Amino acid sequence: MANTKSAQKRSRQTIVRTERNRAEKSRVKTLRKKALTAIAAGDKEAAAKAVSEFSSAVDKAAKRNLVHKNKAANLKSKAAKAIAAIA
C-alpha cells in the first residue's frame, strides 16, 4: 500500500485509467469482430459501415497510445483489403 498521499492518489488514478483502457481495447476488439462477421456475410454496405466504425475506434485508440499506430494502420488495411475482395 502506498504511504504518502500523492502515492495513494497515483494508485487510484492507475486503477481508473486501467479500467478505462481495458474497456476501450475491448470495444476495438468487438468492433473488429463485427466488421469481420459483416465481411464474411458478404453484405458490402453493412461491411463498409462496420469497417468505418472500426477504423474510427482504432484511430482513437492509436491516438491515446492504447494501440501502436502501425498496428492500427495494419488492422485498417486488412479490413479495407477484405472489403475490396467482396466485390
pLDDT value, residue 87: 62
The grid cell for 29 is 476488439
The whole-number pLDDT of residue 67 equals: 95
What is the spatial distance between Cα 54 and Cα 23, in angstroms, rounded to a whole number? 15
Q: Which residue has the cell 473488429?
A: 32
Matching residue, cell 466504425: 53
Distance of CA 42 to the CA centre of its chain: 23
pLDDT attached to residue 4: 95
In this prediction, residue 12 carries a pLDDT of 96
Q: What is the pTM of this model?
A: 0.85
Q: What is the pLDDT of residue 9?
A: 96
CA nearest neighbour of 80 among 40, 33, 39: 39
Spans in the chain with pLDDT lower than 50: none
